Structure formats: structure tokens, C-alpha cells
Structure 1
Amino acid sequence: MPSIFCLSKNTDETLEFLAALRQNVLGRAVDFVDRKTTKSLKAAPTRGFYDFATMDYISPTAALVLASIYSRAKSITGSKLSTVNEAEWKPQVRDTLTSVGFHELLDMKRSKRALQPPPSDLIIQKFVMGTQAVGERVGKLQEALANLLPEPLAEKLIDAEPYGGMFEAVLNSHSWAYPADADWEYPALKNWWLTGAVDLTAGRVTVVVFDQGVSIPVSLPHWRHWGKLESRVKRLLARTGLATDVGSSSNDGLAIRLAMTISKSQTNLPQHGKGLHTMVEVAQRARHGRLRILSRNGEYVWETGRKPQSATYRNPIGGTLVEWVLDL
């Protein structure tokens, strides 16, 4: 496992590991079900585990994605999971996974050491997960984050309205991430996962929403205005020397950036398109805000005082991740 398990500080290595983990863990889950169905469980399964003790640091965002993969594996097998050598985990790794509710999410028992994480200036909220777009659950997370802040900063958080962005991400996941005609490599768990953290020293709030759906680049060609833009996009790709297949994963960074541009300029978009600009507005309302979207292989970043940036990575995130970092 990466010693620095973080999608910001160690993006490429973390994405590469997550891709391998997803294939291994979900592949084993499917194999378990196949052997159970054919009554061949006496055949020895492939043994092995991922050694979390090799991690020196894990971010709340990376922990969310990690837990969602194991959550999907649990949904495939219907079996509870367990940790290995938890006493050897680094304190920061153990405390982060405990705080976000890693054990509860997967119906694991926590070790005695993990029952009470030590006091910290970084307070992480437990995961919330669901399938429906329920505003009440999103609102409770915003309220919980605000309650952790001193009064002036709590008011600034409410003014930034992260609820609007979080709800749009959850709504998009529910409405668009898991189409009925999608072809899944592994059985889908049609959920969204949500968490947040408060850094009391920095006056900073981080909020993250993740789903394991088809991604923005895959859904973009189905948007109402796509037909008018497709020829223009192909000409742009030809000029830049990129693959002219708009749906190619090598164009994902551009695809997300295009989706953000459409969401800002068009007024009669379906809800999926409107919601993307709502996400940017959350970051704009903070003293200093940063919105980061990772979807399939692409990335889009909007940050106060900087031009929007996009990038494409070799390995996919396995869905869509939306992260706000708000300095209040």
C-alpha cells in the first residue's frame, strides 16, 4: 500500500493502488459467490490481505474511497469482513479510519485501541451512505460540521452553503450514476458515500461525496445539449492531437471541464448539468475555496484566485469523487 495514501499529496500512486485494490477485492468477492453457487467452497480460496500497517498517513477522502470498495465487496458476498494486525497500524491511520466509521460501515469490530481516538484539531465525521437523494441526511452532516466550529466560523460555513453542493452530488449519483443499461465489470452497489472534516487550527472544512457510478465523461454524451457541441469538441481534439474519440478515457479531464463550462453557460439543462455549477458556487462563497472533481480518469479543479485546471490520469478513480476544501 502507498505509505502516503492521499489523492492530493500522492495522486498517481494512490489511484494506481485503488485500481488494483478494486480489481483484486471485487474479483475475489465474485469468485467467492461463484464457488458458493457451484458448491465448490471446499476449494481453497486465494489467501492474502492488504497490510494497512505499511501506511504512514491516510486522508479522510482516500479513506472514504477505500471503505466504499470494501463496502461493495461486502454487498456482493453478504459476508462480514475483518481487519488484520490492527494493533500494528500507525496511530494516524487507525484514528482516521476509526473516526470515519470504517469498522461500523463494514460491520467490523473495532479493536480496543480504536475505541477512543485521542483529541485532535482535525475532527472527522463518520461516513453517511445511501441510495436515495435525501436532503435531511445531507443537512445533518452540515449541521454537525458547523457545531464543531466556533460561532463566527460556523456562520461562515452556513453562508458558504455546502449543503447545496453536497445535495447536488448526492442527487446526481441517485439520478445519473447508475443507469439501468450500464455494463458493470462487477456487481454494482448503487450507493453514494459522504463524509466531512473540520480542521480547528486552520479554520478549514473538507466535505467529500463519492459514488462508484459510470462517471461524468461517460454520461456527458447523453446530455441534452451534447449534439450541438460534439462536432466542435472533435475539432478541438484534432487540433490538440488528442484522441478524436470523445468518449476515450484519455480525454476525461477535458470532458469534465467541458461539462463544467456547459453547466455555467446553459440555463435549460437537465438537473445533472445545473448541479455541477452549484458545486462551484459553494467554493466561490468561501473566503478561499477549492472544488476538486475526479471522475473516471479525469480531474477538474476550481480554486479561488486561480484559473480552472483539468488533468487526465492513467488510472481511474472508479466513479465520481467531489471534494470541497473551504477556508472560512
Structure 2
Amino acid sequence: MSYPENQFVEAVLQLTGVNTLLQSSNRLSDVQLHKLSSSKKLMELKPVVSDTQVNGQAAGQLLQHFQSFASKSEISNIYGGIMEAVTNCAQHAYLQEESSLDFSLLGKRWWMLIAKDPEHKIHILVCDLGIGIPVSFPKTRAAYWKEFLVSLGNQLPEEVVVIEEAMKYAATRTREANRGKGLADFKKPVDNIAGSMLHVLSNRGTYIYKPNGNANGFDSRNSLGGTLIEWVIPAKEITNASME
């Protein structure tokens, strides 16, 4: 493997576990990584967690790094949103008839990453390479979607509008009693933790949700080719704390 010329890029690959995945040695020492982090140009990162199943244990282990930054109730809200994102990957993102063959070797995979930025905000990200909410929501909520289109005069909406409507729709596709309120669970950490923010990027749509129900978004020219969920949460009383 050839290593990046930019040391910051190499640090990210090392911290997120990409080097390990590629069976390449980590060249940067702990001292070098600390120096890069102290320069306020590099997020404090933890290795990426990935699976093809709904793996609450893996997600929970990664969230342990968050324990010094939040209360148990806040962590519970965050965990619920994360598990809904992971479950959504398993049940919605990779519908058999729509799944792309481009990434077939990866399976129905999701990835999760947690990081702390120089402004002491925690970023928790979950992503997949599935068909995207703008495609899966109309298919899995056909009757509701038909009524929604009628309300729009049968005009196809922008993809961000589809994401927003999916967020409003409370019931889950499987109708299981233990599944919470579906995509609406994404909002819980933001509604319950002051100063938080939610970003939902799916295909061309970008949906941004803030406390008190404030939301906006837009469509991009190009598609993300999947879904990325990001929670941005301020860490409390951690001016000099780290995710150890």
C-alpha cells in the first residue's frame, strides 16, 4: 500500500481503522497523532464499526466513548436513534428488487463512526449504500405515498421533501410493537439534547433538523448513492476531555 503524502489524511486512515482493514501497518506514533489532534485541524476519531446485521452490541461499544460527555438518558436517546438507523438499513435500504449490483460484495452493510471536533462537538454518523429514503419510502408506504402525491397535485416532489415526509410518518414498515416510531426516532436526540442537530443525506436530498421542530433542506445535483445520518451533539464540560 502506498501511503498518503498528507499526514492528516494518513492520520484519519489510521484512526478510523482503514489501515487495519487493508492490512497495512500504522506508521504514525501516538505522539504524532496527539500532536496532529492538538493542532485543532484533526477530529478525534474512533475506529469505524461495520456490520451486515442489526448489531446493537457493536454500536453500544462505540457509544461507550460518549459516556463522559452525556447523561444516561441522553445516551439512551442517542442509542435509540442509532439503532433505528441501523435497523432501517437492514429492512429498507437494500430491497432485493432495487439493490444495486455495484456493491454486492459488501452485502447489506452499514458503517458507524464517532468523532469529536475541535469545537468539542460530537459527531455520530451511520451510513449505507442502499437505495435511499427517496426510493424506499414510496415503495414501502405505497398507499400513504399515493395520497401524498394527490395532495401535491400528482407532481413528483424534490427528494428532500420525500425525506421530510418519511421523517413525519410515525409507523414502521414491519408494524412491530418494539420498533418505536421509525425514522421519527432520528429526531429524539435532537429534541432531548439542547444544541444538537440532525443531518439526513439520502440520494440527492439533504434534510437538516434542529431543536423545536426547525427543519430545512435542499436537493443536490448529484446523488450520494445511499444514506448518511449524522447527529451533531455538543459535549458538556469537556474542554480538555478526550474520548478514551
What TM-score comes out, normalization by structure 2 length?
0.80
Helix, strand or coil at the partner of 1:308: strand
Q: Equivalents in 1 of 2:61, 2:8: separation in Å?
A: 26
Q: 2:24 aligns with which of 88, 104, 109?
A: 109
Counterpart of 2:28, as a letter, is R
1:61-72 mapped onto 2 (5 Å cutoff): none
Unaligned runs of 5+ in 1: 1-81, 239-243
Unaligned runs of 5+ in 2: 236-244
* Larger Rg over CA atoms: 1
Native 8 Å contact 2:19 2:26 kept in 1: no
The alignment status of 1:296 with 2:214, answered yes or no, reads: no
1:181-220 mapped onto 2 (5 Å cutoff): 181-188=97-104, 189=106, 190-199=108-117, 202-220=119-137
Counterpart of 1:209, as a letter, is V
Bigger mean CA offset, 170-179 vs 114-123: 114-123
1:160-171 mapped onto 2 (5 Å cutoff): 161-171=77-87
- CA deviation after TM superposition for structure 1 residue 157, in Å: 7.5
Q: Deviations over 1:28-76 (max 9, x none)?
A: xxxxxxxxxxxxxxxxxxxxxxxxxxxxxxxxxxxxxxxxxxxxxxxxx
Alignment length (residue pairs): 225
Q: Equivalents in 2 of 1:171, 1:117: separation in Å?
A: 34
CA distance 1:85–1:130, shift in 2 (3 Å): closer
1:258-297 mapped onto 2 (5 Å cutoff): 258-263=165-170, 270=175, 274-297=181-204
Helix, strand or coil at the partner of 1:288: coil
Q: Equivalents in 2 of 1:297, 1:194: separation in Å?
A: 21
Q: Equivalents in 1 of 2:209, 2:232: separation in Å?
A: 11
Helix, strand or coil at the partner of 1:299: strand
CA distance 1:104–1:237, shift in 2 (3 Å): farther
Q: 1:4 aligns to what?
A: none
Helix, strand or coil at the partner of 1:213: coil
Counterpart of 2:191, as a letter, is Q
Q: 1:25 aligns to what?
A: none
Q: 2:149 aligns to what?
A: 233
Q: Deviations over 1:147-205 (max 9, x none)?
A: xx3xxx33278456311111111111112211222252514222100010124x64421
Helix, strand or coil at the partner of 2:89: helix
Native 8 Å contact 1:160 1:285 kept in 2: no
Q: Equivalents in 1 of 2:130, 2:190: separation in Å?
A: 24
Q: Equivalents in 2 of 1:267, 1:176: separation in Å?
A: 10
Native 8 Å contact 2:14 2:26 kept in 1: no
Q: Equivalents in 1 of 2:116, 2:72: separation in Å?
A: 13
Helix, strand or coil at the partner of 1:117: helix
Helix, strand or coil at the partner of 2:28: helix
What TM-score comes out, normalization by structure 1 length?
0.61
1:71-90 mapped onto 2 (5 Å cutoff): 82=1, 84-86=2-4, 88-89=5-6
Q: Equivalents in 2 of 1:269, 1:233: separation in Å?
A: 23
CA RMSD in angstroms, aligned pairs only: 2.7
The alignment status of 1:141 with 2:51, answered yes or no, reads: no
Q: Equivalents in 2 of 1:171, 1:267: separation in Å?
A: 11
CA distance 1:327–1:319, shift in 2 (3 Å): same
- CA deviation after TM superposition for structure 1 residue 132, in Å: 0.5
- CA deviation after TM superposition for structure 1 residue 101, in Å: 1.2
Q: 1:255 aligns to what?
A: 162
Native 8 Å contact 2:81 2:189 kept in 1: yes
Native 8 Å contact 1:223 1:270 kept in 2: no
Q: 2:53 aligns with which of 108, 132, 135?
A: 132
- CA deviation after TM superposition for structure 1 residue 289, in Å: 0.8
Higher relative contact order (CA 8 A, sep 6+): 2
Counterpart of 1:129, as a letter, is S
Q: Equivalents in 2 of 1:131, 1:269: separation in Å?
A: 19
- CA deviation after TM superposition for structure 1 residue 112, in Å: 2.1
CA distance 1:275–1:202, shift in 2 (3 Å): same
Native 8 Å contact 1:262 1:273 kept in 2: no
